[in-house]
Structure 1
Amino acid sequence: MKLSGALQPPAGLAAGRRFFLVGYLPTYAAVFFVLLLCWAGARGWHAPASGGLSFTRAWTTAAALGVGEVVLLVLGVTLVAVLLAPLQTPMVRLLEGQWPRRPATEWARGRQRRRKTAWEQRAALPAAGPVPPGPPGTPPAPALTPDLVQRAGVAGTELRRRYPLPDHLVRPTALGNALAAAEDTAGRAFGYDAVVAWPRLYPLLGEQTRAVVDDRRDTVDGAARMAVTMAVTAVVAAVLLARTGWWLLLALVPLAVAWVAYRGAVQAVLAYGESLHVAFDLHRFALLRALAVRVPEDPAAERRIAAAWCDLWRQGVPLPPGFRYSADADQGSTTGGQGQP
C-alpha cells in the first residue's frame, strides 16, 4: 500500500464530501508536512541529524511505509479530524475577528472602517447639475458620465457585499465583515432578520437552492479550516526547524498556504452571502405558509409580518393583537384575507 492511498478517506465514516473537504484534507496536509520535516531530520531545539535535513531520506522513509503503518496514519488523521470537528465554529469565529477587546482589536476594526469609507467614497456620485465653483485652486467637480455612474454602481455593490451597513457592526477582519454584510442584508428588504430567520427558512429550501447553499458553505468552512490549520502548522514547523539555519524558511510554506486559504475564504463568503439572498428571494413565502400565514399581497404587509415574527424569534415578543392565521396557508394560496400584525 502506498502513502498516496492515505489521501482517500476511509469508506463509511468519511464518505461525506463535507468531512473530506472541511475536516480530513486540511488535517492530512498538516500531518503530512510535519511528518515530512521529521523524516527529513528536523528535531526542534536539538541539533539536526547528521548531514542536516535530507528530503531524499524523507522520501525513502515514506516509500518504505508498510500497510499497517499507512493504516495507522489514516486512522490517526481521521481521528484528529473528527476530534476537531466541534471546533469548526470557533475557528470561523476566530477568523471573523471575534477576539477579546484589546488595542490591536480596535486598531484592526478602525482599519476596516477606513476601508469601508474608501468604498463609500468610490460609490458616491457627484451632485447632478451645475456645481458652484469652489475656492481658487480647487479642481473642478467631475462630470456625471455613464462611465462614472457604472463605476460607482460597481463600487456600491461591492460595498454592500463586503461590509455591513451600520458602522457598529464592522468587524476587525475582511472575512468577518463579509459575513456580517450577508447577515445584515439577506432578507432585509422583506422585513427579515437573517440571523433568526435563517434556521427556520433553511429546512424549507428547495433541493437545488439547498445544494448551492450547502456547497458554498462547505467551501467557506473548508477554506477557513485550511487557513487555521496551516497557520498552526507554520508555528510547529518553525519550532521543528529552529536550529536548521536557512531551512527555517520552510515554515513560510504553510504560512503562505494559510494566507491564500484565508483570501479564498473571503471570496467564498461573498458567494455564500449571495446564495443567502437568493434563498430569501425564492423561498420566503414557503416560510410564511409553514407558519400558517397567508402570503401577503403587498410588500408593506409582508414586511410587517416578517418583522413581527423576527421580534418573536429574537426577543420573545408576542405576535401583536389581531394577528390571524390561515388554515389553508400551507396549500400555497396567495389570495384572500392575509394574516397581518
Structure 2
Amino acid sequence: MKLGASMQPPAGLAGGRRFFLVGYLPTYAAAFFLLVLFWAGARGWRPPVDGTLRFSRAWATAAALGVGEILLLVLGVTLVAVLLAPLQTSVVRLLEGAWPEWLTRARWIRGRQLRKKQAWERRTELPAVVPVPPGPSGVWTQSVPVAPEVVQRAGVAADELRRRYPLRDHLIRPTALGNALAAAEDTAGRSFGYDAVVAWPRLYAVLGEPVRAVVDDRRDTMDAAARMAVTTLVTALIAAAALARTGWWLTLALLPLAVSWVAYRGAVRAAMAYGESLNVAFDLHRFALLEALRAPVPEEPDEERRTAAAWCDLWRQGVPLPPGFRYTTPQDQGTTGGQGQP
C-alpha cells in the first residue's frame, strides 16, 4: 500500500466532498507536515540526534511504512477530522471576530476596520460639481464632465464596498471575514423587507437545485479555507516548538504560517462570493418561501416589504401575524407554478 493512498477518505463517510475539503484535507496536510519534521529528526527542545534535520531519514521512514501502519495513520487522521467537525462553526466564528466582549469593543480593533470601510467609501465618491465660469457665450455651465473611467472606478468600488462591509457602521466587526459575512447578513433580502438572519433557514429549504448547489459550493469553499487557515496556524506553532533547537531550520515554521495567511485571504473572498449567492437566492426564491408558508404573494413592492417584515417579526420575536391575514389555498398558488419566480 502506497503512502499517497492515505489521502483518500474512507468511502461512504458522511459529508462526502464537504468532509474531504473541510475536515479531512486540512487535517491530513497538518499531520503530514508534522510527521515529516519528526521523522527528519525534530525533537522539540532537544537538539536532533546528529545535530541537524535529515529529510532523507524522513523519506526512508515513510517508504518503510507497512500496510498496518498506513491504515493506522488513515484512521488517526480521519478520527481527528471527525472529532473536529462539530467545531467548524466555532472556527468560523473565531475568524469572524467573535472574541470576548472586552476585546471586541477595543477601539483600535474595530476602528481599523472602520477606517478601511471609510477608505472604500471615499473611492466611491465622484468629483464634486464645480461651476465653470462663462465662456464667450456668457453662459455658466453646471459642472465639468466626469470621465467615464472615473465613473467606472467609482462603481467598482461601490460594489466592493457593498460586498466587504455592512451598510451600518455599528455592525462593523473586528476582522475582514467577519465584515464580509456581516455584509451578506445585512444586505441579503433587505430590499424586499427580509431579515436574512431569521429568514435564511426557511428560504434554504425551498431553494431550487441549481441555486442550492451554488450556495453549498461557496459555503464549502469558505469553510474549507477557514479550517485550513486555523489548522495551519496551529501547525506553525507546533512546528516552531519542534524546531526550536535546529538553528535556521526553524524558518520552516513559516511555511504553514504563509499557508494560513493565504487561506484566510481566500476565506474572505469566498465569504464575499457566498454573500452574493445569498442575495441571488432571495431574488429568485422569495416567492417560493411565501408559497410554502401558504401566504399570499404580494403584487406591490410596498406590500411585499410589509409581508416580509411581519413574517420576520414572527420568526425573530414571536410577534403574531397582523389581523386580517389570510392563508392561500393550493389552487391560488397554482398561478405561479410553485417555482417562486418573481
Q: TM-score range by the shorter chain?
A: over 0.9
Q: Distance in 1 between matches of 2:79 and 2:105?
A: 35
Q: Which moved more, 1:29-38 or 1:46-55?
A: 46-55
Match of 2:165 among 145, 163, 166: 163
Q: Distance in 2 between matches of 1:235 and 1:162?
A: 30
1:81 aligns with 2:105: no
Q: Deviations over 1:133-159 (max 9, x none)?
A: xxxxxxxx9852222211111111110
The aligned residue for residue 221 of structure 1 is 223
The aligned residue for residue 111 of structure 1 is 112
Equivalence map 1:194-273=2 (5 Å)? 194-273=196-275
Equivalence map 1:1-341=2 (5 Å)? 1-13=1-13, 16-100=16-100, 101-102=102-103, 105-128=106-129, 130=131, 144-328=146-330, 331-333=333-335
Q: Which moved more, 1:72-81 or 1:101-110?
A: 101-110
- Paired residue secondary structure (2:335): coil
Cα distance, 1:131 vs. partner? Answer: 7.4
Counterpart residue identity of residue 150, structure 1: Q
Q: Distance in 2 between matches of 1:98 and 1:105?
A: 13
1:169–1:324 CA distance, 2 compared to 1 (3 A)? same
Cα distance, 1:111 vs. partner? Answer: 0.5
Q: Deviations over 1:57-83 (max 9, x none)?
A: 001101110000000000000000000
Cα distance, 1:330 vs. partner? Answer: 7.0
Identical aligned residues as a percent:
75
Cα distance, 1:106 vs. partner? Answer: 3.4
1:105–1:217 CA distance, 2 compared to 1 (3 A)? farther
1:202–1:120 CA distance, 2 compared to 1 (3 A)? same
Contact 2:130 2:144 in 1 (8 A): no
The aligned residue for residue 136 of structure 2 is none
Contact 1:290 1:330 in 2 (8 A): no
TM-score normalized with structure 1 length: 0.92
Cα distance, 1:128 vs. partner? Answer: 3.5
Structure 2 residues not aligned, in runs of 5+: 134-142, 338-342
1:66–1:106 CA distance, 2 compared to 1 (3 A)? farther
Structure 1 residues not aligned, in runs of 5+: 133-140, 336-341
Q: Distance in 2 between matches of 1:15 and 1:156?
A: 37
Q: Which moved more, 1:104-113 or 1:69-78?
A: 104-113
What is the RMSD of the two structures over their aligned residues, measured on CA atoms? 1.8
Q: Deviations over 1:17-48 (max 9, x none)?
A: 00000000000000001101000000001121
Q: Give the number of equivalent residue pairs.
A: 327
Counterpart residue identity of residue 54, structure 1: R
1:329–1:243 CA distance, 2 compared to 1 (3 A)? farther
Q: Distance in 2 between matches of 1:329 and 1:123?
A: 48
Q: Distance in 1 between matches of 2:19 and 2:256?
A: 21
Cα distance, 1:108 vs. partner? Answer: 2.1
Counterpart residue identity of residue 25, structure 1: L
Counterpart residue identity of residue 227, structure 1: A
Q: Deviations over 1:243-299 (max 9, x none)?
A: 111010000000000001001111111111111011001100000001111211111
Counterpart residue identity of residue 17, structure 1: R
TM-score normalized with structure 2 length: 0.92
Contact 2:132 2:144 in 1 (8 A): no
Contact 1:294 1:329 in 2 (8 A): no
Moved over 4 A (4+): none
Contact 1:191 1:304 in 2 (8 A): yes
